[in-house]
């Protein structure tokens, strides 16, 4: 089991310590998708049921929302409870090893999320954050999206 250096962002967060990761961990983390996840697909389905038309590729908007309707100024983020630290959720655990590194990484994620939501609101967008643990109830999702639509 060979070790390799972390990526540049992780090195910055770790400070002076040289963090290493095993090939097993690296392969597992490479499997984590950013688009087309089960929670995102559930939200897309609920958005269609609610009558919202949307785009999924939005790199030009702050924070690159998972779903956006530019005409109606609506942005929807689908946040994983673990990566975005859903308060009070049992899925928002903190690893026991490299705890300081992970807390810094999660803190930066939350800071970036707040900045993206603020920037979108300044542009006149209505923003909805859907947490991973909320995607199991499609009726609730449709209600949330319809409420956002007004």
Tell if the pTM clears 0.85, that is, is over it.
Answer: no
Confidence (pLDDT) at 36: 76
**Which burial class, exposed, middle or buried, applies to 68 when counting CB atoms under 10 A from its CB (0-12, 13-18, 19+)?**
buried
7 pLDDT exceeds 80? no
Residue by residue, DSSP assigns 49-111 as HHT---BS--TTSTT--SEEETTTTEEEEEE-HHHHT-TT-TT----STTHHHHHHHHHHHHH
Q: Which of the pair, 55 or 37, is modelled with greater confidence? A: 55
Tell me the sheet residues that pair with 20: 5
Average pLDDT, rounded, for the chain: 86
Whether the CB-CB separation of 76 and 68 falls below 8 Å is answered with: yes
Structural domains of the chain, with CATH? 1-32 (no CATH), 34-149 (3.40.960.10)
Of the listed ranges 5-19, 32-46, 71-85, the one predicted with least confidence: 5-19
Tell me: the pLDDT tens digits for 101-148? 899 999 999 999 999 999 999 999 999 999 999 999 999 999 999 999
């Amino acid at each position: 089991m060979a070790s390799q250096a972390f990526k540049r962002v992780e090195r910055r967060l770790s400070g002076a310590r040289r963090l290493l990761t095993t090939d097993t961990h690296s392969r597992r983390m490479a499997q984590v998708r950013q688009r087309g996840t089960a929670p995102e697909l559930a939200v897309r389905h609920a958005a269609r049921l609610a009558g919202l038309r949307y785009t999924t590729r939005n790199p030009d908007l702050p924070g690159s929302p998972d779903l956006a309707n530019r005409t109606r100024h609506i942005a929807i983020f689908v946040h994983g409870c673990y990566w975005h630290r859903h308060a009070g959720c049992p899925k928002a655990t903190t690893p026991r090893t490299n705890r300081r590194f992970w807390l810094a990484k999660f803190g930066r994620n939350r800071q970036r999320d707040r900045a993206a939501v603020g920037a979108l609101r300044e542009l006149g967008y209505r923003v909805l954050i859907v947490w991973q643990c909320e995607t199991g109830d499609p009726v609730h999702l449709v209600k949330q999206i319809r409420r956002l639509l007004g």
